[in-house]
Structure 1
Amino acid sequence: MDLTHAPLFIDKIDETIRSHPDRIAIVDLSTDEPITLTYARLDRLANRVASKLVELGVEPGDAVAYQLPSSWEFIALTLGLWRISATPCPLLPSLREREVKFIMQSSGSKLLIVPDEFRKFSYRQLVDAIRDELPVLEHVFVLPQSVRRPEVSDMGGLLTGETIDLTSRRPGPNTYSELLYTSGTTGEPKGVLHTHQTLSSALLAHTTTLSLTADDRIWAPSPLAHQTGFLYGMLVSFYLGATGIYQAIWNVDTARAAIEEHGATFVQAAMPFLADLTRSEVPPKGLRIFVATGAAVPRQLAREARAALACNVTGGWGSTEACLVCVGRPSDPAEKLAGTDGRVIDGMAIRIVDDEGNVVPPGVEGSYQVKTPAMFATYLHHHEWYEESHAGDGFFDTGDLALIDEDGFLKLTGRKKDVVNRGGEKIPVVEIEDLLYQHEAIADVAVVAMPDPRLGERACAYIVVNDGHEAPELSQITDFLGDRGMAKIYWPERVEVIDEMPRTASGKIQKYVLRNDITEKLNAEQKA
């Protein structure tokens, strides 16, 4: 598959607007009564927003920051930004003063668009708290959440004014299409810039590999301000000319409505969403494919999900920088779909290398590197980080450790920074987590390194306990692992019980938070 000259998504959107103007583009489930927009109506709203942005002085290439929940307003604004070759810079609604200030200063956005309130948090107060520290900020638009219907909303003033001719501002292949900041599994956000061509390459690969069509209905429960929702929810629906179904707050009942009432057939989302649906009292039926990302799907959950949801469940690996590179196909063997992150997509390449950069044989762990036409263009203000992350032959080092089996299926074994080095012995954290996930009392688990004066590091297991169960003792956990054949040297040597895992919006566990937590606890215990 030639991905280098994939049709641009902006052209695909316009093609649908011309040929199927009355097709439903958006089903927004963020209000009591769902809001639906046709492609033609979305186009008119986006053009009005774009015209207002031109009036405000937004130039091609300018980054525009907005912190909106998943909604028709988010989508209309994003399309409006593309209409004038500006760069969307969406911020997760969960970010607060420190993160928003950093992104605003880094992006240089002259505009900030927020809701007045979302999930009982006042964004007016957030803006007031940081505005004096943002000298380039010229305009703030606040969207009242009490007025959401598109027939009465003016989007906080973004829909005022006359529509102008935007033809001369149309983006090209190398125009920046998004500025997303990495979600912080390591604690250091980076501004990732993609172009219209790189995202279009990702979209062609994705929709072709999974045989998605305009007849599919694409459900996006992940925040649109994250690559999972932005690219594999909103933009996938646009690329296909399909209907997108959006929910702003995770709730199983809303998810059930998306699937059973509004006909969702495809979703790509984090594994916790899959677990919640599977283990709900009445699992919804109707999905065709669920691509679970953020972590390989444990075998037990994969079996449960296929039976409960009656759909294909596959794993996949992607990143903000590289987009989706590996995915399981529904036709792949069931034993490969569970416990792996799929296999490489046609037109892309993956490899595992040792510390000297040599490709290792199948089944051997090493540094995971990828090469894809969907690779990002650069890190904002830090092209040297981009250069450092690439090998001389164009492969990008993901920062992950992994292995590729003899059949070409990828299995992530951890982040380089997540490795537990116990006296020179590397602990297989992903294998431990996969086993512990099968324990009836454990709902969620993460194994991290804790400092040790003699061995350097030991393994600590953080667990979330299933409702109705008591937290297992360390001895019960080690007996469980021993009964399943795991060597004693790999057993966790401490257990910490927490209410929930710290996660990014894509569902990845922020292990640096857990490492910091156990380090602080050990220091406190030594001082006691």
Structure 2
Amino acid sequence: MNFDPVLIADRMTAMNAAGLWRDETIDVHFRRALADCPDKPAVVGYRDGQTEPVRLSYRELDRRVDLIARGLVALGVGRSDVVSFQLPNRWEFVALSLACARIGAAANPVMPIFRQHELSYMLDFAESKVFIVPAVFRKFDHAAMARELQPRLPHLKQVVVVDGDGEDSFDHVLMREDTQPISGPGIGSDDVSLLMYTSGTTGEPKGVMHTSNTLFSNLHAYIATMELSPSDIILGASPMAHLTGYGYLAMLPLILNSTTVLQEIWDAPRALEIVRDEGVTFSMASAAFVSDMCAAVEAGSPVSPQFTKFNCAGAPIPPVVVQRAWDLMGLSICSAWGMTECGAVTVTEPARALQKSGVSDGRALPGIEIRIVGADAAELPTGETGELLIRGSSLFAGYLKRPQLNGVTADGWFDTGDTAFQDSEGYIRINGRSKDIVIRGGENIPVVEIENLLYRHPSITTVAVVGYPDRRLGERVCAFVSLKPGSTLSFEEMTAYLDKQQVAKQYYPERLEIVEDLPRTPAGKLQKFKLREAAKSFGSGQ
């Protein structure tokens, strides 16, 4: 794969001179742990339905990473090849990420919710050579789906099944003792090490490219701001196939040489038991996770005095949730805002959490600049809402094969597609989107893609998908549609149609509104803001 990370060259000199790019890969940090604390727990993995977790020291994790890396090489995977894996939060996810770096390949984690529709595009576009899936997860047969997809994907040489028992099983293919030792170089600090898809307004997912330098510059700044240390024990419950999970719950603990505790299926009462039993001190996820834990504590789940910091991103956090978590658990909720393209951009420090997290999304991390500009691109005064632009060390390396969409100016500013205002202390508040997207429980819903699918329904003439407020998830999804004369469409018929399109169920609208016509300007432009206003009455409020 020719990644062509076009957004790297112009930044190299400045980022290196400022010490923001340290030219370190994950292997540097991992080998430090092997030298300093080889028997320290690296990964503790809790599986649904299993009473005892898998516990891997750094030494044992290294052994497994070496076998997996050798197994990938034996399959013909080399430098700049893409390895895709659709795994829940398990030790295999962490080990695969490390193994890819060890042989110079790019890791491409994809969400377990994706089905044939999304995966056929993603794997083909990335030219993925290997695809690793669980045999079954949440009662869905991922192995059967992957095997069905393989003949359609010319670049895909091997499907590998975790917990499988056939010739394509993880143990048989990637944990063999008879493969050859690794001899080639690993990932370079400016090589593309991570390919992660993000949903946007273009109708197709965009492949965000990150290098070790772009990703780790953000993690180092984040560690300092959140005051994390090797003694921290980090709960990884947010999906690791998002940048939140991959960067802050999988890679960050390895950089710290600390411990990550994985929970593969979110369950708040169980999470709080794990927090107590493992001495967890920190985690990061969407606000829905915090609301769930507060409810669980009120219902009798345990509180751990060591669990003191939680970083929330994905949607603004209601002040009542910040206060509630503090009152119930002594848990400081730190707000944050970021994107797959740049990681966490703004964060509220723990010391300011009670004061600022409910009314802001934090302020810029070291190495990142932000600007809020008006329609004329001039910077706006404090308190005025405008387009949010960012630039700095953690900005991505570009979109795979689609540099025309990079959206970066000649002087390095990236248009986030969000609107925001800034206070006198530099804290920002995201208060709108210029891009057409819905964020439900921290998950970006690909609005255009769902609309395009619904447009193909034989009863539908026009469709618009918008978000409406929900107290727990931030937003839910409503489809407004107008129908052909004489046609009818029920909510059940709509979801059955999306089932046939093999779309991730998490993308389905939760509400269907039949309207005579959609609101438009005199020039015919759809006025989605009117639909959003109408949809506000459906929600539970913020």
The TM-score with structure 2 as length reference comes to 0.76
Residue 515 of structure 2 is matched in structure 1 by 522
Check conservation: 1:185, 1:511, Cα contact below 8 A. no
Residue in structure 1 matching 2:188, options 167, 172, 175: 172
Could you list the per-position Cα deviations for residues 43-87 of structure 1 after superposition, in whole angstroms to 9, with x for gaps in the alignment? 010011101111111110001111111101111122111110100
Residue 295 of structure 2 is matched in structure 1 by 279
Residue in structure 1 matching 2:217, options 197, 201, 207: 201
Could you list the per-position Cα deviations for residues 381-414 of structure 1 after superposition, in whole angstroms to 9, with x for gaps in the alignment? 111211xx11222111111011111121110001
Shift of 1:246: 0.5
Residue 191 of structure 1 is matched in structure 2 by 207
Size of the alignment, in residue pairs? Answer: 442
In the TM superposition, what are the counterparts of 1:199-348 in structure 2 within 5 Å? Answer: 199-280=215-296, 281-282=299-300, 284-285=303-304, 286-332=306-352, 334-348=354-368
Residue identity in the other structure for 1:397? D
Higher relative contact order (CA 8 A, sep 6+): 2
Residue 418 of structure 2 is matched in structure 1 by 400
For residues 148 and 74 of structure 2, what CA distance do their matches in structure 1 show? Answer: 27
Residue 387 of structure 2 is matched in structure 1 by 367
Partner SS, residue 378 of structure 1: coil
In the TM superposition, what are the counterparts of 1:86-125 in structure 2 within 5 Å? Answer: 86-125=105-144
Residue in structure 1 matching 2:428, options 391, 404, 410: 410
Partner SS, residue 181 of structure 1: strand
Partner SS, residue 219 of structure 1: strand
Shift of 1:162: 3.0
Matched, 1:385 2:405: yes
Shift of 1:347: 2.0
Residue in structure 2 matching 1:14, options 28, 31, 43: 31
Check conservation: 1:21, 1:39, Cα contact below 8 A. yes
For residues 517 and 384 of structure 2, what CA distance do their matches in structure 1 show? Answer: 39
Matched, 1:69 2:85: no
Partner SS, residue 125 of structure 1: helix
| Residues 156/300 of structure 1: CA separation in 2 closer, same or farther (3 Å cut) | farther
Check conservation: 2:285, 2:311, Cα contact below 8 A. yes
Check conservation: 2:34, 2:59, Cα contact below 8 A. yes
For residues 61 and 371 of structure 2, what CA distance do their matches in structure 1 show? Answer: 42
Shift of 1:116: 1.1
Partner SS, residue 215 of structure 1: coil
Matched, 1:84 2:77: no
Shift of 1:103: 0.7
The gaps in structure 1 that reach 5 residues or longer are 148-152, 420-428, 434-445, 449-457, 467-495, 497-509
| Residues 376/459 of structure 1: CA separation in 2 closer, same or farther (3 Å cut) | closer
Shift of 1:258: 2.5
Partner SS, residue 276 of structure 1: helix
| Residues 418/155 of structure 1: CA separation in 2 closer, same or farther (3 Å cut) | same
Residue identity in the other structure for 2:429? K
For residues 207 and 261 of structure 1, what CA distance do their matches in structure 2 show? Answer: 24
Check conservation: 1:2, 1:347, Cα contact below 8 A. no
Partner SS, residue 43 of structure 2: strand
Shift of 1:141: 1.1
Residue identity in the other structure for 1:254? R
| Residues 146/288 of structure 1: CA separation in 2 closer, same or farther (3 Å cut) | farther
Residue 130 of structure 1 is matched in structure 2 by 149
For residues 518 and 259 of structure 2, what CA distance do their matches in structure 1 show? Answer: 55
Partner SS, residue 355 of structure 2: helix
For residues 65 and 221 of structure 1, what CA distance do their matches in structure 2 show? Answer: 21
Could you list the per-position Cα deviations for residues 408-454 of structure 1 after superposition, in whole angstroms to 9, with x for gaps in the alignment? 111000111359xxxxxxxxx99xx9xxxxxxxxxxxx9x9xxxxxx
The gaps in structure 2 that reach 5 residues or longer are 1-17, 448-463, 473-490, 492-504, 520-542
Identical-residue share of aligned pairs (%): 33
Could you list the per-position Cα deviations for residues 336-380 of structure 1 after superposition, in whole angstroms to 9, with x for gaps in the alignment? 221210111122111101112110001000000111201111111
What's the Cα RMSD here?
Answer: 3.1
For residues 232 and 115 of structure 2, what CA distance do their matches in structure 1 show? Answer: 36
Residue identity in the other structure for 2:293? L
Shift of 1:146: 8.8
Residue identity in the other structure for 1:521? I
For residues 460 and 51 of structure 1, what CA distance do their matches in structure 2 show? Answer: 47
Residue identity in the other structure for 2:43? I
For residues 392 and 202 of structure 1, what CA distance do their matches in structure 2 show? Answer: 22
The TM-score with structure 1 as length reference comes to 0.78
Check conservation: 1:143, 1:156, Cα contact below 8 A. no
Partner SS, residue 194 of structure 2: strand
For residues 20 and 471 of structure 2, what CA distance do their matches in structure 1 show? Answer: 44
Shift of 1:325: 1.1
